[in-house]
Structure 1
Amino acid sequence: MPELLDIQRGLASFLHDSVAAPCAEHWLMGDAVLVEQRMAIYRANMAAAATRALGAAYPVVRRVVGEAFFDGLARTYRRLAPSTSGDLFDFGAAFAGFLAEFPDTQSLPYLADLARLEWAVHHAYGAEDAQPWDQQALAQVAPAEQSAIRLAWAAGTAIVDSKFPIARVWLIHQAAFDGEFSVDWSVRECALVAREGLRVVVSALGAGDAVFVTSGLAGAALGTSAEAALAADSGFDLGHLLGRLMTSNVICEFSINKDE
């Protein structure tokens, strides 16, 4: 007598592939032909739901490659990387890596990085809301302690670095975009992804800004992050960047490490 877990695993495998898991049909009551027909309905619904979920997470990738091609990618991806979560919001975490290796997408070398950006956007949508804080307190920190400041970043904030202009590609494919549909492929971009209220904003960062935010997200103190940013870009303007990050609520709190 099989254990319940074995039955559940067998049925899950049978839903994905009746040939690979034929034994599961013996646990289902009724005529074998009818059982297979009924399970085929479940399989079709599962595949459609997974494709819709992947398309919702990667709408720009879908627009770039076209709906039919994307649906084919979704079928292949689902077969090679089936979801391990009960939440469809999590489906697609490995899609960027899949695109980087999939033979039929090699003519679009930026596609994997674009997918990494879209997954960061997708994750930011589901992030916790930033709580109000006293931004004036940051300006009141004594000069001797400023280098020891550690910034706290709003949930969902992410940096996606690429040798391609992925922030621009993402922007021109947004429904509200009304500018010139053009991309300078000679530009490499580091994209900042952040929640601003109920929307997610993607913006390209300069070299120094990108180094500062990347260092800060990794937990470095403000002084360390600023030094690294200045080394990358002698024109780095810390005050301007902090103002921008605070205005958009990317920074949500700070602390001071006396040992820095």
Structure 2
Amino acid sequence: MPKPGVFNFVNKATWDARNALGSLPKETARKNYVDLVSSLSSSSEAPSQGKRGADEKARESKDILVTSEDGITKITFNRPTKKNAISFQMYLDIMHALKNASTDNSVITVFTGTGDYYSSGNDLKNLINDAGEIQDVVATSTKILREFVNCFIDFPKPLVAVVNGPAVGIAVTILALFDAVFASDRATFHTPFSQLSQIPEACSTYMFPKIMGPTKVMRISKELIRKHEKQKLYTVNAEECAAALERMPREEYAKALRNFLFRKAKAKL
């Protein structure tokens, strides 16, 4: 095929890839691709610490593991005994990791999970406290959520998710802000907002209607597309958090949360 024009990003990437393969047999090329995706996916054991640039400071975290090697920064949910549920500290650790990855020498950033789950979403214990303090807890959680989602909106490099197992809640909605999502045969996707009397988050009320699958773009096209939508995403993120702040302190939310936890505990008996 003739070489595509410089602004025909998708076909140009395909053309470049085919030229790079040369006379490589089709089956060998397919195997190399599968091996690449598999290498990004975590095994049932925690990944070892990869090589880092001399100017990068490692942040110790047992629940979020960050490795950087061969141009790939990998951020791994590492709380398998809790199905990789995301605690407040994990939110902060992920934001710190994304900030570092946005300025380091890596080319792409990959998210995956340790164990059977990708992530069961928000740790509901983040929102359980004494009744008199629930307003403060909700205010803190929505502030962290807004900052967390904005980190993904602002991230300048390609984001890839390797979903190795079930994903729930924000672990699903945030995927709409990724550039590519690879799902294993064990992956499932669930957003139980109505069940928990919660408001959808991570700009999913805007992004989900726009897309019907993973989006793959190169860094330059991502910049051109996203710069026209950033303000809209900021607005949607703020509106979702404001709605959650208003709704979550209500008794119906607390009742739904207690019922959900009761059914979960009863199922383990």
Superposition TM-score, scaled by structure 1 size:
0.24
- Bigger proportion of residues as helix: 1
Bigger-Rg structure (1/2): 1
